[in-house]
Amino acid sequence: MRRLLLTLTLAAGLPLAARALPPVPPAPPVTLTPDRPAAPAASTAAKPDARLERGRYLAIAADCMACHTAAGGKPYAGGYAIDSPLGTIYATNITPSKKGGIGHYSEADFARALRDGVRADGSHLYPAMPYTSYAMLTDADVGDLYYYFMQAVQPVDEPARQTALPFPFNVRLSMLGWNTLFLDNKRFVPDPAKSAQINRGAYLAEGLAHCSACHTPRNALMAEIGSQTLAGASLGAWHAPNITSDKVSGIGAWTDAEIAAYLKTGHVEGKGQAAGGMAEAIQNSLQFLRDDDVAAIVAYLRTVPPVRAPGQTKAAFSYGSAASEEAALRGMAGSTEHHSLNSGAVLFSGYCASCHSASGAGSTGQAYPALFHNTATGGNTPANLVSAMLFGVERKIEGEEHEAFMPRFDQRSYVQPLTDEQIASIANYVLKQYGNPDVSVTPAYVAQARSGGEKPVLARAQPFMLPGGIAGILLLIALFVWLRRRQG
């Protein structure tokens, strides 16, 4: 989630069908975005290659394009930078080039990389490639994916930029220990007590779409916490929300139609809209899934055990209503009762009201969403509100006339960069005027989000690992010498 934004580390993991589950049936023609590779042209007399179409559909469902294609780059040629807390991880070239890609991979090599996280040369992949989820894939689906990449993807001979994490995370062999502890290398097995639709949804959500990679919190070693599956997690500056069946903290109060619409379009009026990694997942993958597969994911999510956030008693989308301070700002009201919010109100009027309206009701048609009844403003964390202001929102859905867009206001803004203090002031105004008034934002919080969010324990410990390791070795040597002298 999607580019993750996933905080992938050497000691981190990201985080469908069993043999009894039939392979994906031949998909109807999938509408491709301009940068998605098409199958080789066929004559009008030739029959469609059903296996290639299955492989193409699986690659879309697994969102391979999102991470393996850099902005402006060639499809699947790698080079996309994943900014993890431990350093930048560059996605590899997975085109069928024998020089720069995986053209020399056998199907067994491909399966091992996909499901075990081990490259053809024996070195370990970082869990930026969510092999912990892909481990569920059937042999048939892995074979169809391999066929698609080898037959339909244009080879690119230029190797992708190499990842170079700092010590000790550059020691890829250490992933062997992490995999021993946390990799469940079992294929998906349908639950006989569940319907075929729910099993299909589980295969898609847990395996191909790897939802838990973003939406499940992690322990100190960055492995997913099983008891908190899909309960929401921090992803750098963003927050992947709780998508369990809980009616307050999760999506239990959403209708099936609302969840399906969100997965296909990234927007549901009165609930929320996708940004960051989720917007990329919808743009590159989820919007292209067949309706029956989207319905299967929805059915599966209904079965995920509810997880309630501590202290949360009100759904995030239930906060707020339309309200405006424009009259007071223009001197049309004598009261100064809102003086404490004046700075935020003034900034909101200048930077936000033209799109979201002075009352926060959004634009007609909600191309610019309302700021009340919105999970970004009513949640128990301001992460997505602040990140949307800092990094903007961009989401394109095929068939829609206009893409969802909000300019960024960080130092890369082409509109007007805003300071940490200004972002905090606007966020606090929006939270108190339209969202959860119990949540507040400090300039320090904005500064942290601007730099990538709060770092996990491993990232904070990294500067001390080398000197600590040397000190440990010296201590062991000293102890050995002392023991030898005592024995002498």
Angle at 189 between CA 188 and CA 194, to 5 degrees: 120
**267 in a labelled binding site:** no
Which pLDDT value is given to residue 342?
A: 57
**402 in a labelled binding site:** no
Angle at 188 between CA 182 and CA 194, to 5 degrees: 120
Which pLDDT value is given to residue 466?
A: 65
Which pLDDT value is given to residue 462?
A: 66
**215 in a labelled binding site:** yes
**355 in a labelled binding site:** yes
**338 in a labelled binding site:** no
Q: What is the pLDDT of residues 323-358, one digit of tens each?
A: 888 777 766 444 444 445 458 999 999 999 999 999
Contact partners, residue 471, CB within 8 Å, separation at least 6: none
Question: Could you give the dihedral angle defined by the CA atoms of residues 288, 290, 295 and 299, in that order, rounded to the nearest 10 degrees?
Answer: -80
**239 in a labelled binding site:** no
Which pLDDT value is given to residue 23?
A: 39
**339 in a labelled binding site:** no
Residue 165 phi, psi (nearest 5): -80, 160
Instruction: State which residues of the chain have pLDDT below 70.
Output: 1-46, 85, 330-342, 458-459, 462, 465-466, 488
Q: What is the pLDDT of residues 388-433, one digit of tens each?
A: 999 999 999 998 878 899 999 999 999 899 999 999 999 999 999 9
**356 in a labelled binding site:** yes
Which pLDDT value is given to residue 334?
A: 45
Which pLDDT value is given to residue 476?
A: 80
Reading the block at residue 268, the tokens are 């549901």
Which pLDDT value is given to residue 336?
A: 47
Q: What is the pLDDT of residues 35-44, one digit of tens each?
A: 333 444 444 4
- Per DSSP, the three-state class of 329 is helix
Domains, the chain, with CATH or none: 49-186 (no CATH), 316-330+340-451 (1.10.760.10)
Residues 425-461 as b/e (b if ≥16 CB within 10 A, e otherwise) read bbbbbbbbbbbbeebebeeebbebbbeebebbebbee
Q: Are 159 and 60 in contact (CB under 8 A)?
A: no
Q: What is the pLDDT of residues 64-84, one digit of tens each?
A: 998 999 988 999 999 988 877
Smallest CA-to-CA distance from 417 within 444, 443, 391 is with 391
**214 in a labelled binding site:** yes
Which pLDDT value is given to residue 168?
A: 74
